[in-house]
A and B are shown apart, each in its own frame.
Chain A
């Protein structure tokens, strides 16, 4: 499959009062056309800023690494100036945010906000904008779209606002959609509807999606491939079934075993497994493997040096950053 996005050796540092902190390090991945790539990890792992860097929306005090390359549709977007970026943002790459309650400007109607994308990237007559806006709202399955166009965000429910957000992101039929925890703030039933909607849209629109989440359920439901991030590194990357069947990194194993299971039968209920400790602050990532202080399998080598992302034997699409795999120790 054709690669639509290629990120090579992404490192992001921030100038802060503690000096330079480096929350993302040596992250490389690609997104193929028409696939959903999941990025999963705890809060503070660098998932979101990895995604933001793709659309070049990092805060002003951030610096990208020297060897970082981000290629979108064959062009290195790091060479883009402000105007080039403004041209692709919202047109070929767009974004869905986590918080539908605050992602819409309270003083404008839904119709006005939808028209922003069209007026920025397409030269369209006003009637055409209106027609397209209605079509978009229908596409994200909002009932009575004509009426909704005139409504203000506070008149809509959370799920409805998230649909409007998605409609805004889809306005110019982007090739790449970055969804930053699109369902975290929604209740479970709405979540299911939104996920189904995104899935359907991907099929219809021939777009690729980067789905950032900390919910492995969402990953299992939606994604083709998964990157597991921990403390600014990719610790494991695999196709979704492979990852769930055969997790190789202790962190991935920890995440999978800490999914709460619903068990009515008392005798089968067990205490929820957790990964002890917290994600370290980027200013003091541990030496060696960044997961070793929390890893149940850590040994001397893990303390000394951080392993590379190594291909797993017998599967060229599955990588893990763990010394145990190099040692050939199959857990």
Chain B
């Protein structure tokens, strides 16, 4: 709502003056383009998403197809660009399918948990008083629950699958965002422009939406990107521990786990390094670029640095 109103205003401005006007969004975009690493991050991530989600459409091999004629084939061997594992799974295909799951888990759980955290934080900070105390104690309780034992139990109860991993990471991922947003809301609530908006007769819901939310958003976006890398890593470590995605369905994490038995070489002294290297490399690239992107977004969205120049 806040944005639509603002957009209308910008359009109007453009119409009347006849000149192109740099709206807030345009300024943010310009600033973002100046941040080279962030642009790199964005490009790499978009490529990764296209690669993992559209890539498998061009390959006839499925992630669980086994090629017994090529076991432990090294990278660049015939038909197997990144080699195969101990039962002839094609690593390249599995990287694509595994990336789908890792990225899906990461993006969905971090976005949903950020939205939950944002709403609870805004409510808690703006209402204050008893509500604030109750919600913050709840956050404390959630934060003090150790994640891994709970995950163990949940994976036993619900079975381990994409949905339950997303759910668990969401349920245990919103608290940091809440604390952050609540703190910012507390200070923004006391600013004079919020007071001024009250004296103009603005109601509380619209004050939150128009004056507080847009000021919190930049920080929240950055936290989302950090949460995203955290979620991808968490999925990897869960799968690595055997609690996440179960073979034969691949994820980057469980591909790493599968390779663990051969990390010092097979019993015959053969060392299939590519089984460890490629999943690890893709996790690394993803998390690194997500962090680049977050960094650039933070700089671009910070209203204090947005100017015409």
Which residues on A are within 8 Å of B, measured CB to CB? 55, 57, 60, 82, 85-91, 93-95, 97-99, 102-109, 111-113, 115-117, 119-121, 126-127, 130, 146, 149-150, 152, 154-155, 165, 168-169
Contact = CB atoms under 8 A, between A and B. Distances in A.
Given A103-B196, A116-B200, A126 B8 contact: yes
A216 B6 CA distance: 42
10 contacts: A57-B198, A89-B199, A90-B201, A97-B192, A99-B192, A103-B192, A112-B6, A112-B9, A152-B303, A165-B196
Given A105-B211, A130-B12, A90 B307 contact: no
Contacts, number: 98
B201 to A, nearest CB: 4
A103 B193 contact: yes
A117 B210 CA distance: 13
Contacts of B5: 112, 119
B4 interface: no
Given A103-B193, A104-B193, A89 B16 contact: no
B201 A97 contact: no
Given A90-B201, A120-B202, A130-B16, A60 B129 contact: yes
B276 interface: no
A58 to B, nearest CB: 11
Interface of B: 5-6, 8-9, 12-13, 16-17, 21, 24, 128-129, 191-193, 195-203, 210-211, 214-215, 303-304, 306-308
B192 A117 contact: no
Contacts of A121: 201
Given A104-B196, A146-B17, 18 more contacts: A57-B195, A57-B198, A57-B199, A86-B202, A88-B201, A89-B198, A89-B200, A89-B201, A90-B202, A94-B199, A94-B200, A99-B192, A107-B24, A107-B215, A120-B201, A120-B202, A149-B13, A155-B307
Contacts of A146: 17
B196 A95 contact: yes
B199 A55 contact: yes
Contacts of B17: 146
A115 to B, nearest CB: 6
B225 to A, nearest CB: 20
A300 to B, nearest CB: 45
Nearest to B16: A130
Contacts of B6: 108, 112
A241 B5 CA distance: 49
A89 B207 CA distance: 14
Interface centre among A82, A105, A119, A165, by most chain B C-beta atoms within 10 angstroms, is: A105
Contacts of A107: 24, 214-215, 303, 306
B9 A115 contact: yes
A94 B196 CA distance: 9
Nearest to A61: B129
Contacts of A168: 196, 200
B304 A106 contact: yes
B192 A86 contact: no
A107 B219 CA distance: 14
